[in-house]
Amino acid sequence: MDTQAQAPNPAQLDSQTVAERLDVDPDRGLSASEAQNRLERDGPNVLRVDPPTPAWRLLLSQLQDPLVYLLLAAVFVTLLLWLAEGAVGWPIDAVVILVIVVLNALLGFMQEVRSQRAAAALARLTAVTSEVLRDGVRLRVSSADLVRGDLLLLSEGDRVGADARLLQANALRVQEASLTGESEAVLKDAATLKEPVPLAERRNMVFKGTAVVQGTGMALVTATGMATEMGRIAHLLATTPEQATPLQKEVRQIGVMLGRAVLLIALVVVLTVLMMTEVRSLADVEGVLLLGVSLAVAAVPEGLPAILSLVLAIGVQRMAKRQAIVKKLSSVETLGSASVICTDKTGTLTRSEMAIEKVLTASGCSCPEGVGYEPVGDIRHQGEILAPGPLHSELVLMLSGGSLAGNADLRQKADGSWVIQGDPTEAAFLVAEHKLGVHERRRERFERIAEIPFTSERKRMSVLAIDHEHDDQRVIIVKGAPDVLLQRCSQARVGMDVVPMSDAILARAQADVDKLSDAALRTLSVAYRPLGADEEAQAGETLEQDLIFVGTVGIIDPPRAEVASAIQEAQRAGIRIIMITGDHPRTAARIASDLGIIEAGGSALTGPQLDALDDAGLAEAVRTTSVYARVDPSHKLRIVDALQAQGHVVAMTGDGVNDAPALKSADIGVAMGITGTEVTKEAGKMILADDNFATIVAAVREGRGILDNIRKFLRYLLSSNMGEVLTVFLAVLGARWIGLTDQVGNVVLPLLATQILWINLITDSGPALAMGIDPQTDDVMGRRPRRPDERIIDARMWSGVMQIGLMMALATLFTLDLFLPGGMIEGAQSLETARTAAFTVLVFAQLFNAFNARSETGSAWRGLWANRWLWATVGLGVMLQVAVVHLAFLNLAFGTQSLDAWQWLQCVAIASSVLLYSECRKWLARRMDGNQGR
């Protein structure tokens, strides 16, 4: 039994009770022997990792597809017939198909080999050391050796090694964004909670994997390993099934459908030929069976899996150039089909860098410009750069005082980027002070000599400093909650003057606070007071009286500059944006409103409210709600699952550990490459190398273009293969009408098995692959996402495939009738010449079809020269066909005869009828679509 799982919530127990339950002395900690016993009993403080899937099994899984089964069956039957014929030469057709299958499996294996490392990355993330008290002695031990009851000692810069209940907290702030989504560092205290609260509000707990950014603390370890909050996420990640992509499902359905159709067509053709032909020997039976197998191979686009993988791989390379790294090939198409993007706020829509947005002082409002921690940007007042004067004087005092009453540090790295050490909120003052250009002067002027730390009870922080410009006079600077500071202020700073705190000034200051709070900004005020000579020996809170009020700042984690336009583009494409965050509801709603996700004044649905909803209530909520706040990982999973149940293709973005299960469950998980944890990167199917939300939109555009290209080459392959099948099938049924019989009336095969395989070789893979990289010609972001129930090969495409296939067959049969004696048109050529002409017509008809298949309704003449690779593959196909017709050794191998110029002209003209018919069909379709539009 897992004893840790049975413990009550320590956040709701007082510290003495927690210590008693854990059987530990809070003054000395555990003894070394007891710690060892508990380590042996509960196991190491690590996350369980399932053994990785063996490489051979991962490779074998790439073959588990109905289309691959069909191809392997064709290989098997072809080899049997080859053996029955005496195993002469090489079974080229079987070898080619087998090579395609193997290469496709290897490509898929190489792309997916890293997907099994998510849990291992989670374990690596938490491999840290921790300082503990054992036997009354401070020790630093491996995080893996922490046990329940250990007395954990925390200080700035530490990574918390286990879940623990705080006993003491001295200005302790912990960054929990990776676990809860809370953008601000959380101020901790040891007070007992009276009732259950969400994870982000458990102020008396610290959690495994989070980071201490300020202060010190002492805590009792209450959970280790898989019993921690991070362990719970690891369990969710391990038990969350990975969904097959829509493209994978579609290709499987195509494989099953083609398998059934192939067996039926081959069986009908073989039986029909046997019934209409006098069988004289076993060789005749083998010939008919070989035709059936060849026809089956012709009906199956054996290059489809490999072409599909190659097209997706090329798309992946194009996306990588746009900073979107796709790990799973089939995810490219999924992103293009996304109808909902569920995005985290902190670090994804916002910069995860606190910044002062507004400064309100007696003389007005100042607005620092610029984003991030780079100290570059102007300070503006009413749109103009702030000029010297009363407001400037107040702002200098405001930002310098706020920076002095803080412990953050701003540094520039070797690569030129700027980073902070300490609390992000305090860093916001420091960055704004740099922008004002007074940082160096403040450092030279003031010398800090003492500090009264921030606590949740005091809600303020004070520092004592020496002012070297005023005869080393001592001064106290206080920064804290506006309501607390205003109660302690008897005067106010107005320009360069200090005036009494009148009712009007107080009302104005309180109105400023309300204005900033209504804008979902975090508010902090600054006040100060020079100390008299008789006060210099005093210390503590007695000095925090009769302060001079300076003003209030509004702080926010600002949105990324490019996100708003990216969201507009996504919405134009019919994609709904949903924000899911662990942050405060009001802050979430403010950011969502600024970015255009919701209307101004909209609200967020919270985690506790989600808990109160049943499945029906949740289903209704996700239809109408686009902002969720104060949620935990299980809530994110419920939201994603509910959206998928409503038929949406869901993309989920995130960077924190808490996002990993939802990323894995979503149709496509998008991890942040810079701020994202290794866990998130491994759980997602795509990684944004630049953490730029706009990159998602670019990836969606690329995905939609790839989906269009997939439809192009599917249209081409299926219509071309259908042409081959119908040619043989209709020729057998109508043999007597076209003169396709021998002297005794037996049906003669219209094409030889080797000719059918040759057609597949030169016309399938090359043009199809070229269409897979066709440039985008339509506004792919100007249409709605593809519905999950909308087939890639829909009824309209099937109709076109059947029509073009039938047209190819009729053109080929017309050629046979034209060249052969007898039939409806009297010809005078030999069977070999007629077969060669029909063979050539079918090849050229498919090459013409390559241009036709680029669009369902658009003319082949539009953008005719845009795809040079298509022209290259068509040109190669023409040269190879000329070679098989005119080279003697190929004549012998493929049963062909040389054609004269007139016969070539006839073949090209007849083959072009496929393109002519297609142009007429598309013109009519455009007219009908236009009429419907009107």
- Per the CB < 8 A criterion, the answer to whether 553 and 513 are in contact is no
The SS3 assignment for 420 reads: strand
The SS3 assignment for 164 reads: strand
641: CB partners within 8 A, 6+ apart: 665
- Measured CA to CA, the distance from residue 289 to residue 283 in angstroms comes to 10
690: CB partners within 8 A, 6+ apart: 323, 673, 674
Sign of CA dihedral 314, 319, 325, 329: negative
Active site residue 691: no
**Orientation of helix 615-624 relative to helix 633-645, angle to 10°:** 80
- Name the nearest CA neighbour of 28 among 130, 135, 153: 135
CA dihedral 77, 79, 84, 89 (to 10 degrees): 150
Q: Which pair of tokens denotes residue 661?
A: 């299960």
370: CB partners within 8 A, 6+ apart: 355, 376, 377, 378, 435
- Measured CA to CA, the distance from residue 233 to residue 228 in angstroms comes to 9
CA 394 to chain centroid, in Å, comes to 46
Q: Which amino acid is at 329?
A: L
Only one residue has tokens 């997916």, namely 112
Strands 137-142, 205-206: pairing kind? unpaired
Q: How many CB atoms lie within 10 A of CB 597?
A: 24
Q: How many CB atoms lie within 10 A of CB 570?
A: 23
CA dihedral 605, 609, 613, 616 (to 10 degrees): -10
- Name the nearest CA neighbour of 180 among 679, 682, 630: 630
Torsions phi, psi of 366, nearest 5?
A: -115, 145
Torsions phi, psi of 389, nearest 5?
A: 155, -170
- Measured CA to CA, the distance from residue 924 to residue 934 in angstroms comes to 15
Longest dimension (CA), the chain: 130
Let me know the angle formed at the C-alpha of 140 by 135 and 144, rounded to the nearest 5 degrees. 100
- Measured CA to CA, the distance from residue 365 to residue 380 in angstroms comes to 9
The SS3 assignment for 474 reads: strand
Strand partners, 446: 467
Q: Which of 65, 158, 344, 659 is catalytic?
A: 344
Q: Give alpha helix (H) positions in 519-605.
A: 563-572, 585-595
Strand partners, 367: 380
Q: How many CB atoms lie within 10 A of CB 55?
A: 10
Q: Which residues are catalytic?
A: 344
